Amino acid sequence: MEELRTQFEALPPDATDEQIRLTAENLRRRQYMPTLILSAPDFLMMKRADMLGEFDRVVALDESSAELAAVVGLLGGYEVKKKHLELLLYHYRLLCALRVGNGDGWGLINELYEDD
């Protein structure tokens, strides 16, 4: 988890509030929602500080918590936490790229949500 924490701490600075808002609106029109293991409310509006807070929240979850126990198919609480945080990190990095107009990121979204 220490390596994951380091990756979370190395996330880029936040885009502007306007970039965040416009990107979220654009993604909502496409019905975009990343696949995550646990809930991450209002993911599209998350900022770097929110990501660090989510990391801390997930790591602090009790291994027998209902949130972790509800996940089927993974071995135990630690594995659920780790997989969720890895997915959250991947999707947030993509979201950061979208916010600054990265063509590769938007190409991926268009391929997944618009192209047949």
What span, in angstroms and rounded, lies between the C-alpha atoms of 89 and 92?
5
pLDDT digits (tens, 9 = 90+) for 10-33: 999 999 999 999 999 999 998 898
pLDDT digits (tens, 9 = 90+) for 52-102: 999 999 999 998 888 888 887 667 888 899 999 999 999 999 999 999 998
pLDDT digits (tens, 9 = 90+) for 48-64: 999 999 999 999 999 88
User: Rounded to a whole number, what is the distance in angstroms from the first to the last CA of the chain?
Assistant: 38
Look up the pTM and report it: 0.90
What span, in angstroms and rounded, lies between the C-alpha atoms of 32 and 26?
9
Q: Where are the domains of the chain?
A: 2-113
The mean of the pLDDT values for the chain is: 91
Dihedral sign for Cα atoms in the order 27, 31, 32, 36: positive
